[in-house]
Structure 1
């Protein structure tokens, strides 16, 4: 049946789709998103643009270069998907005189003398340097405003056409950054890594299986089963209409390694029963009948660890949790449903090989168990001290994330964004919404403009905002025009001048490439760009901003609110502690209820949680030591690691319950459990650790940290299960010895 389903999937296979939607990282269940959506409807999406810098040495003021650059800009304007382009080449400034209004070019290169005059004038205008051209004057900026909320497919086509224009232009020195480039390159990297890690996972699995069992079919059968489980899981996601995204890169590796751990439990038990003298059919039946329930429970807890992410309010985490949880269940169905039938098709394990293998493990496990029992107090004290120290260090962790969190700093895309941070004041959009207060009805009231000017000054000083556009800049621009284009008149106009320019304000809005105020002039925006300093600094600046607004801005004149895509991403990072607590809390509760119901005890669930909670604190301490911050990328590690790590504890406890119910004394039951499950626990843990460990080769920050930190968590969990858990079970016996334990 399983093979039949797989064949159907291959015949009617869904089309693989990769996507990277920037807005999937926004927290959904808060009024900030709704406010931004309303803001976007009134003004525009704040990140639908590309920044293109064209360079020339010694500077851009060369007529041949400017001619070539102008042709590039004109060609860009004709591309489908480009709404308009803005640069110093095409900006005209109005000049109002008694003879009427005329327009003059900011940069005129029609003759050598005109170019010289323009260069001299531009050098004196502080509003142009850093906005339209770099401080060194080697680059000038073309802002390409693309179609609002452009789709990934349309963005890829448009970006490809832009590159064609640049390649044909002959200009070699250029830099480009923006959403449609970032989305395209993220998806390309995702596609490459998806295939890379899928192949690497299967190579690792083949190596581990051959190392453990040294039989060719013991490699072929698990690889076939795991491949089918992965096919089922990815098909379900694609059929549900969910494209593969940044998190999906890890899906094949996670499913393959989780499935392999289960396969190793079954195959070890099968081989052990063959060693006891059972024939192939009986050994297969008994191995699966004894382990189906524990494997089902462990897969359920693993799936639960992922599924708790569904209760976060960040779409990329929600769907990663949901489809990975479904994938784990489908993988377990493949392992449980297909493996027994496939084992029947091949010869049984050789008894001699099984004996040799067991003999090598049992002395080590006996020695280990004796040491654990002898040094119980020392073990408990060590774990207590190490955990308290880790809790202290984890409290020092910063919550901090960046827009390009997942990319390595040395990637070309990261370098491009850094270029614009250094040369043009940043690439991160900053938006501040303005709403007139109860005493006014127009953002161009002079008292309101004075309040806005104070906010601009704060934003430039504390947020590092440059390229500012606002009602204040509009008023200053028109005041300069009314004074014959005199640069000294780029200041707020007097009340009388402001009143005279009101007809020009509406005309400016009709011709401006940037929408700065609403049609009724009751709302406005302060829009600019800044470097990405991270959400940790942004949160501190936000607190200062709110204090500044409360103390310095008259709320009856103006109401102010931060908004924008960057602000929403920062909120998602800062809310990560709440998301983390929610996910882990749900996981703890469900596992505690499950263990309590299974073993009919209220104390046992608490003790079972201890060796699975301790590794989380230790990982948090390690994060502080290596300088890793808590963010959306690293928050998922804790819930996922808990869900996977608890599997070995449940295997241990299931075997302990079985041994005790056979009438064995409690301490002897612990010993038998330790000796019989110890090998499988160690092997499955090492497989999981090495499997997640290969993710450290990823170029994505989120994938790298998932690999590194989950591997550490599983290693710490292995130590806790093999060293601390038996001590806790001895303690439990002392507490409960006066009554029935199970």
Structure 2
């Protein structure tokens, strides 16, 4: 590519036309957060759940509302609570509302069906009797009424698979109705609330990180170059590059989500790192007496391939996430990878022309700073030469320790994983976990076995009771809704409402209740049995204990089912959105290996292309694998757990960290192409690229460190772990890589190309 004055202005003009097109026909900017975008799409469990919810319903389309008072059995409070329930029931988008006010005591006798409310407060005696009955029953206390009897629970079931926009409108209307009541305390938790809160936070953080990215650019460039022209050029170029990148994703209707918060910072610091390499070479040529035009042409011609390769490896590191089966990660990786290449395009298209247009006034101290850097880098190379053995021992020891730390890492994630545990939204969900049996939906599919006619066979019901007892004892769930719980309630009704009769009916009792079954299933709060009675569900809630403990419980359940439940009568399978989120965290090793395998292959191919040697390819890989190992050690020390959103960072970190190695090896190739001896070429490479590698690492690591100010877990850990990995990569490139290359001098002499190409 030519970087003459005329061709540079043509490219600038083309870049301006693209930007004008975006401004004249702006894409629609919209934010979204969908829990289901983190489900692994190629997993058989998702296919199973989709069939399950088609038969029954979506398990997380509800809003939990806890309404508090000093005494939940106060008649005025109960009237207000009833009024609230009636108003919420009339909202469009609400399918049904349930609370303890709906619970009926049913008595079936020869004279018919007698129904009366469990909680009545027409007079003090009725209220006191209801209070005693409710608080003495484990079915209601801690489920629909809190343990201390100071909160009542209301469950609002909203429209199935409600859209984000409809959910926002519905939750706003519910909040508005709640505000008309003078309740001392209210808590809410559910999908329509969480998604709205996430998007509000997304909008705040997106604007915040967009602003802070440009502030960071100004600060870093001023500290490095002390010149206004570098700031001006960088702001223009990076603004255009980010506009192109975000514009492309929005034109393809890619919503800005929890992953997109990081994009402005990522793209700006990667673009800035590329610009620093160009500015550094450009100023070096000016100091050596070259004219402005010669300096621009030489600087851009000499390192554009190396800069392109570094941007390419970074982009492919992100794009490799497309190989995962999680939609949110796939799209984040794809559009961020393309965005990196668009930022590189903006740098190459716009920067040369802007440098021709803007007068360059070098700082008075620039020459002395350049001499300082060369002196320090010469000293650094000598230090490395003298301590080769200690460097190898040190890196080996730390890597072995980090490898041990990797074996100690625990895979664990939560439903609200992207928010810190002390966040208000997380605290509200935790309130329901502690007071009302849980906020996390828990679902099981039931199927009658080949030895049973349907799920209502007496033998199946006895097996099902063992399953439900196990679930309640181990999963610590809220009230269970199932075919069995319905039949137990009917049995109680046919025994004068006796609490002790809430049990599996005998064969004779079951025959007496058969005339009432169809109506009973129609009136039940939720569908729990298919029309042919061969398929059913257990529906309940539990505390969000994390995927690690959930996996242990699931394995315990599977062992129980295989040894205690007769498969000829009953089969049970866990399912639901919470289960899918848990298994998405469990798939981290598979997702991580996919991404890293592709990234390793790409870097090996690039190194092989540059040097025509597989040995050198392996040498280039080694200093970039070590930072990933050390990341594991840091995670273990800090107690950071492996989950889907932290596992992908290994691929991203590798794609960015390898840039320094490529710059180093590209410069070494140029020096060797000039006919220099291996050790001298290595010394020149270390001195000339050392400054740029250190500066770009400072830029990249400080840029990623800014992400630690985010409230989102994925953004925070991206900042923490990637910035540390980049520092580790710097140490590996300036200490370990030269030591390894010294030992490969003889191999190069055999493979040495005739020209740098």
User: TM-score by structure 2 length?
Assistant: 0.97
Select the residue among 610, 613, 616 that pairs with 1:601: 613
SS at match of 1:525: strand
RMSD over aligned Cα atoms: 1.1
Whole-angstrom CA distance in 2 between matches of 1:150 and 1:210: 50
Deviates more, 1:403-412 or 1:89-98: 89-98
The 8 Å contact of residues 480 and 489 in structure 1, kept in 2 or not, is answered as yes
Residue correspondences, number: 741
1:95-244 paired onto structure 2 within 5 Å? 95-244=107-256
Give 1:44's aligned residue. Answer: 57
SS at match of 1:86: strand
Give 1:674's aligned residue. Answer: 686
Give 1:338's aligned residue. Answer: 350
1:139-538 paired onto structure 2 within 5 Å? 139-350=151-362, 352-538=364-550
Select the residue among 633, 654, 663 that pairs with 1:621: 633
Give 2:10's aligned residue. Answer: none
The 8 Å contact of residues 550 and 582 in structure 2, kept in 1 or not, is answered as yes
Whole-angstrom CA distance in 2 between matches of 1:540 and 1:741: 57
Give 2:83's aligned residue. Answer: 71
SS at match of 1:469: coil
Whole-angstrom CA distance in 2 between matches of 1:276 and 1:307: 40
Give 2:713's aligned residue. Answer: 701
Deviation at 1:18, TM superposition (A): 0.4
Deviation string 1:165-186 (CA, Å, 9 cap, x unpaired) is: 0101121311100001000000
Select the residue among 53, 58, 65 that pairs with 2:66: 53
Deviation string 1:267-300 (CA, Å, 9 cap, x unpaired) is: 0110010001011111111111111111111000
Matched, 1:560 2:587: no
Whole-angstrom CA distance in 1 between matches of 2:169 and 2:677: 71
1:537-616 paired onto structure 2 within 5 Å? 537-616=549-628
SS at match of 1:169: coil
Whole-angstrom CA distance in 2 between matches of 1:644 and 1:686: 13
Deviates more, 1:668-677 or 1:483-492: 483-492
Whole-angstrom CA distance in 2 between matches of 1:357 and 1:507: 87
The 8 Å contact of residues 77 and 85 in structure 1, kept in 2 or not, is answered as yes
Deviation string 1:401-457 (CA, Å, 9 cap, x unpaired) is: 111111111111011001001101110111111000001121111110111111111
Deviation string 1:462-487 (CA, Å, 9 cap, x unpaired) is: 22222211111111000011112111
The 8 Å contact of residues 274 and 351 in structure 1, kept in 2 or not, is answered as no
The 8 Å contact of residues 399 and 626 in structure 2, kept in 1 or not, is answered as yes
Whole-angstrom CA distance in 2 between matches of 1:145 and 1:55: 20
SS at match of 1:439: coil
SS at match of 2:180: helix
Deviation at 1:737, TM superposition (A): 4.5
SS at match of 1:46: coil
Whole-angstrom CA distance in 2 between matches of 1:239 and 1:509: 49
The 8 Å contact of residues 673 and 753 in structure 2, kept in 1 or not, is answered as no
The 8 Å contact of residues 274 and 349 in structure 1, kept in 2 or not, is answered as no
Give 2:36's aligned residue. Answer: 23
SS at match of 1:148: coil
Give 1:688's aligned residue. Answer: 700
The 8 Å contact of residues 26 and 568 in structure 1, kept in 2 or not, is answered as yes
Whole-angstrom CA distance in 2 between matches of 1:479 and 1:125: 17
Deviation at 1:693, TM superposition (A): 0.3
Give 2:4's aligned residue. Answer: none
Whole-angstrom CA distance in 2 between matches of 1:260 and 1:492: 70
Give 1:724's aligned residue. Answer: 736
Whole-angstrom CA distance in 2 between matches of 1:252 and 1:617: 28
Deviates more, 1:191-200 or 1:501-510: 501-510
Whole-angstrom CA distance in 2 between matches of 1:706 and 1:47: 29
Whole-angstrom CA distance in 2 between matches of 1:351 and 1:535: 56
Give 1:87's aligned residue. Answer: 99
The 8 Å contact of residues 52 and 175 in structure 1, kept in 2 or not, is answered as yes
The 8 Å contact of residues 275 and 351 in structure 1, kept in 2 or not, is answered as no
Give 2:725's aligned residue. Answer: 713
Give 1:32's aligned residue. Answer: 45
Whole-angstrom CA distance in 2 between matches of 1:657 and 1:374: 24
Deviation string 1:212-232 (CA, Å, 9 cap, x unpaired) is: 112212111101110111111
Deviation at 1:588, TM superposition (A): 0.4
Deviation string 1:513-558 (CA, Å, 9 cap, x unpaired) is: 2111111111111111111111111111111111111111100101
Deviates more, 1:531-540 or 1:354-363: 354-363
Deviation at 1:344, TM superposition (A): 0.8
Whole-angstrom CA distance in 2 between matches of 1:494 and 1:137: 35
The 8 Å contact of residues 271 and 349 in structure 1, kept in 2 or not, is answered as no
Deviation string 1:371-394 (CA, Å, 9 cap, x unpaired) is: 001111111111111101110111
Whole-angstrom CA distance in 1 between matches of 2:564 and 2:18: 67
Query: Which stretches in structure 2 are left out of the alignment for 5+ residues?
Result: 1-13
The 8 Å contact of residues 227 and 363 in structure 2, kept in 1 or not, is answered as no
Deviation at 1:739, TM superposition (A): 5.5
SS at match of 1:89: helix
Whole-angstrom CA distance in 2 between matches of 1:500 and 1:205: 79
